[in-house]
Amino acid sequence: MASDVLDFLDRDQLGAAAARIAKTLRPGDALALSGDLGAGKTTFVRALVRAMHGSDVPVSSPTFIFRQRYDGTPPIEHLDLYRIDDPADAAELGLEEAFGPDRITVVEWPERLPGLLPAGAIRIRIEGAGDEPRRLQIER
């Protein structure tokens, strides 16, 4: 496993890091995005989708629907598990269908459903809050 740290990132630099990481992703990849509320997970996903699809589709936290899909090549699935308290509640949501060899799947709050992510998922933790610079830890 390779591990990397990017530190002192302002918002634009965090977006640029997401765009660089986007270039390394292949269909079938899963990305676990950890960090506190307001750390910048959704900001990261927005930059990733823009870099991969070249468009400015609205990317927000799919908090109430848990799952959002951005059509493009490849399609990007965006899960936000923040509101899942009990893994048993999640069973009927069919979230495993958001993963597949033809798409990239990005998951905010992956620790809410530890069994959902495939073993080979790339793990990114964002640290920092408010207007402070962010630190990204990447394990792949």
Ligand X SMILES: Nc1ncnc2c1ncn2[C@@H]1O[C@H](COP(=O)(O)OP(=O)(O)O)[C@@H](O)[C@H]1O
Tell me: does residue 131 bind ligand X (CB under 6 A): yes
What letters, b where the CB count within 10 A reaches 16 and e where it falls short, cover 22-61?
beebeeebbbbbbbeeebbbbbbbbbbbbbbbeeeeebeb
Contacts with ligand X, 43-62, as mask; x by CB under 6 A: x-----------------x-
Instruction: Establish whether the linkage from the previous residue to 74 is cis, with ω within 30° of 0.
Output: yes
- Considering only 17, 30, 40, 42, the residue that binds Mg ion (CB under 5 A) is 42
| 38 binds, options ligand X, Mg ion, none, Cβ within 5 to 8 A by partner type | ligand X
- Residue 127 phi/psi, 5° resolution? -115, 140
CB atoms within 10 A of CB 16: 15
CB of 101 to ligand X, least distance (A): 27
Tell me: does residue 11 bind ligand X (CB under 6 A): yes
Smaller CB separation from ligand X, 61 or 72: 61
Smaller CB separation from Mg ion, 84 or 101: 84
Which of 63, 95, 58, 56 has the alpha carbon at shortest distance from 77? 95
Q: Which residues bind ligand X (CB under 6 A)?
A: 9-11, 14, 35, 37-43, 61, 108, 131, 133-134
